[in-house]
Structure 1
Amino acid sequence: MDRSWMNARRISEEYEKGVSVFLQYLKENAKSVNRTYFCPCVRCANQIQQDLGNLHDHLFMLGITKSYTVWTWHGEILDQPMTSRGTNYVEEWMTDHLEDMIRDVGENNFLRANLYNSVINDSEQPLYPGYTNFTLCLQL
């Protein structure tokens, strides 16, 4: 499907026709919740749902998010074939790079983690022998 209209000026006939095609596609393929759909305008960024009227207005006033080229929020299915490498490739990659990642974290982070564990262990020890709960007695 041609999406060149997304880069056209919003006042152009090409953009207007593109919005019409998009809205028709949306009606036929997207799932609505109480007649609202995710709005792909620059402000909503597919995070806020709008009814068709507001969605139409947003696309003209604010413009569509130009990077939204695969309309996954509106029913389009990305038809990429699965890689032939499978899960063994992922396991090999993780095994190969695990030591490098640990080295990259560095000794400073391990010392900080050790300090945190030390503070947690200290907080679990009683402050005074025989006292299991912290209670405060205030005398005026």
Structure 2
Amino acid sequence: MSIEDRSWMYEGWNDNGCHSQEWVQKTNAFLDHAFSLVLDSQKFGVLCPCSDCDNRVRQRRPIMSLHLCKRGFTLGYTIWTEHGEKPFSEPTLENANDTADGLDEMLADIGDAMHTVSDEDEP
């Protein structure tokens, strides 16, 4: 499973200090998404992911847009858990080698067979 590249959130600046067109388009898409998830979001607002509000303060869309433009997104907020995304976790070492095809059991059986002494091998 690949995670969408969200480097635009933090690197979306032109040389003149303005936001890039990509940043503007993707930030507007983020705002559309975030506000579409919350009932009466225009009235009550949505958690603001700017670096100051840090997903703790609800803001209406015009204020949130201004916050993101001036302050930027809170650092490390590339998985939008406060805006409808599920957290992504790497497989743990414990589960990384689990297979549903029985290969582990077959390899264990071969290993056991190689380490057993047959009657012919005894002196």
Instruction: Identify the TM-score tier after normalising by the shorter chain.
Output: 0.5 to 0.7
Alignment-derived partner of residue 56 in structure 1: 65
CA distance in 2: counterparts of 1:5 and 1:43, whole angstroms? 19
Contact 2:42–2:61 (CA<8 Å) still a contact in 1?
Answer: no
TM-score using structure 2 length: 0.57
1:38 aligns with 2:41: no
SS at match of 2:46: strand
CA distance in 2: counterparts of 1:64 and 1:58, whole angstroms? 9
1:4 aligns with 2:7: yes
- 62-71 or 20-29, larger mean C-alpha shift: 20-29
Max radius of gyration: which structure?
1
CA RMSD of aligned residues (A): 2.7
1:26 aligns with 2:34: yes
Alignment-derived partner of residue 65 in structure 1: 74
Structure 2: tracts of 5 or more residues without a match = 96-123
Contact 2:9–2:73 (CA<8 Å) still a contact in 1?
Answer: yes
Alignment-derived partner of residue 76 in structure 1: 85
| Percent pairwise identity | 33
C-alpha deviations, 1:25-62, integer Å up to 9, x for none? 21334565943111010111111110111111111011
Where do residues 111-130 of structure 1 align in structure 2 (5 Å cutoff)? none
Alignment-derived partner of residue 100 in structure 2: none
Structure 1: tracts of 5 or more residues without a match = 87-140
The structural deviation recorded for 1:82 is 6.7
CA distance in 2: counterparts of 1:67 and 1:3, whole angstroms? 10
Contact 1:39–1:47 (CA<8 Å) still a contact in 2?
Answer: yes
SS at match of 1:26: helix
CA distance in 2: counterparts of 1:46 and 1:62, whole angstroms? 13
